[in-house]
């Protein structure tokens, strides 16, 4: 058999040059260098060739093989690097990668909202410690030694002795009111602060109770602070939080650290006071406790007797968030279920 090596070389060169992908190039490699490929065929034709033809065919086959191997190698490198740069190139028609947007927890949002309203009214945000002593949590707030709130059933006592009071133990604050004591010791009047924070009580967990929850305490101390100041300010606050339409009602109540004291109700924002399931047919919703600072509290922080007057209030953040957003179970705040959290 006579082989036209010149023609075979030209045809291999053309085919390899035109290959536009790695699979096509592989097919060409098989065609020339494969076990049953062209070059293998040429070598096997040697057996039936004449003695004069053999050297020419052998040399031609070797040269063709070297040529094709070299060309395939070069082309393969070229196609590979092309493929890589194609991957790197930006395809603007592909859908974008979306990053899920995070947000503050609904309780954080509520605390921020409440504090912002008070900041606009001239209050400053302060924080107090979660670990307290009996003096700040009770005594300074005029809570008598035999008051049931001091009982271990109502307060988490720690296994940590109070360094300032031998024989007594530190505790987890059961309300944010001890924050009032810290603030009054730190600053002289006039002062107006709100103190948000976690509080702890050994309550059995149910739809409306948890052993840890959040409160926001308010305290304003100045000359000549009146009960009407308290009412006007809380009315402004409640209207900002629950809407312009709501009315405020103060019911006489008792707190050891304020005198007089009151519970604050708002007309139900849902039924406008007519009675519905949110207000349990009462038309009113209790939102916080308040009063004028008791002289004993001023005495406990060492303010001169009779010099200052003040107003104070305290509210539960979970309760307000539940009312505002129609949340029926306090446990939802702490379960970290994204289906709940994503709604706010
Ligand atoms: N500390 C009270 C509680 O935990 C709430 C409270 C009521 C705070 C009246 C006050 C206040 O400052 O004046 O129930």
Ligand 1 atom 2: residue of nearest CA: 314
- Ligand 1 neighbourhood includes 258 CB (under 6 angstroms): yes
pLDDT above 80 (res 152): no
How confident is residue 17, by pLDDT bands cut at 50, 70 and 90? very high
Nearest Cα residue to 335 out of 155, 105, 4: 105
Ligand 1 atom 5: residue of nearest CA: 314
How confident is residue 151, by pLDDT bands cut at 50, 70 and 90? confident
In angstroms, what is the span from residue 22 Cα to ligand 1's centroid? Answer: 78
Decide: 243 and 269 in contact? Cβ < 8 Å: yes
How confident is residue 269, by pLDDT bands cut at 50, 70 and 90? confident
Q: Which residue has the tokens 């003096």?
A: 135
Q: What are phi and psi of 65, to 5 degrees?
A: -60, -45
pLDDT above 90 (res 194): yes
Segments of the chain assigned E as strands: 124-125, 131-132, 157-161, 169-172, 191-200, 212-222, 248-255, 258-267, 284-293, 309-316
| pLDDT for position 1 | 64
In angstroms, what is the span from residue 290 Cα to ligand 1's centroid? Answer: 6
Q: What are phi and psi of 67, to 5 degrees?
A: -60, -50
Mean pLDDT score, 314-330:
95
Specify which residues 146 forms β-bridges with: none
Ligand 1 atom 3: residue of nearest CA: 175
Ligand 1 atom 4: residue of nearest CA: 175
In angstroms, what is the span from residue 232 Cα to ligand 1's centroid? Answer: 18
User: What tens digit of pLDDT does each residue of 288-300 get?
Assistant: 999 999 999 999 9
Which of 255, 259, 310 should be mutated for ligand 1, with most atoms under 8 A from CB?
255
Show the tokens assigned to 104: 């503050």
- Ligand 1 neighbourhood includes 314 CB (under 6 angstroms): yes
User: What tens digit of pLDDT does each residue of 225-252 get?
Assistant: 999 999 999 999 999 999 999 999 999 9
Q: Which atom number of ligand 1 is nearest to the Cα of residue 314?
A: 8
In angstroms, what is the span from residue 166 Cα to ligand 1's centroid? Answer: 28
Going by C-beta distance under 8 Å and a sequence separation of 6 or more, which residues neighbour residue 38? 8, 31, 32
Average pLDDT, the chain: 94
Show the tokens assigned to 58: 């052998």
pLDDT above 70 (res 220): yes
């Amino acid at each position: 058999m006579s082989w036209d090596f010149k023609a075979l070389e030209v045809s291999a060169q053309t085919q390899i040059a035109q290959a536009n992908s790695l699979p096509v190039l592989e097919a060409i490699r098989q065609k020339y260098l494969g076990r049953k490929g062209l070059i293998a065929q040429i070598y096997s034709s040697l057996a039936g060739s004449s003695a004069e033809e053999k050297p020419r065919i052998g040399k031609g086959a070797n040269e063709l093989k070297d040529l094709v191997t070299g060309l395939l190698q070069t082309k393969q490198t070229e196609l590979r690097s092309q493929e890589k740069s194609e991957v790197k190139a930006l395809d603007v028609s592909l859908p974008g990668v979306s990053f899920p947007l995070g947000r503050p927890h609904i309780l954080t949002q509520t605390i921020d909202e409440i504090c912002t309203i008070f900041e606009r009214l001239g209050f400053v945000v302060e924080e107090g410690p979660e670990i307290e002593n009996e003096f700040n949590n009770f005594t300074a707030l005029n809570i008598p030694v035999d008051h049931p709130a001091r009982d271990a059933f109502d307060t988490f006592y720690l296994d940590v002795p109070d360094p300032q009071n031998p024989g007594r133990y530190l505790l987890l604050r059961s309300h944010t009111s001890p924050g009032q004591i810290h603030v009054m010791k730190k600053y002289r009047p006039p002062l107006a602060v709100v103190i948000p924070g976690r509080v702890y009580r050994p309550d059995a967990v149910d739809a409306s109770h948890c052993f840890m929850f959040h409160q926001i305490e308010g305290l304003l101390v100045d000359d000549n602070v009146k009960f009407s100041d308290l009412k006007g300010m809380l009315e402004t606050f409640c209207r900002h939080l629950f809407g312009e339409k709501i009315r405020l009602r103060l019911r006489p109540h008792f707190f050891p650290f304020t005198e007089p004291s009151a519970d604050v109700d708002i007309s139900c924002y849902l039924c406008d006071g007519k009675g519905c399931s949110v207000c349990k047919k009462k038309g009113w919703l209790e939102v916080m406790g308040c009063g004028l600072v008791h002289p004993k509290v001023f005495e406990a922080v060492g303010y001169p007797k009779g010099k200052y007057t003040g107003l104070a209030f305290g509210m539960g953040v979970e309760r307000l968030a539940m009312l505002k957003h129609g949340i029926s179970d306090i446990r939802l705040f702490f379960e970290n279920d994204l289906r709940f959290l994503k709604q706010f």
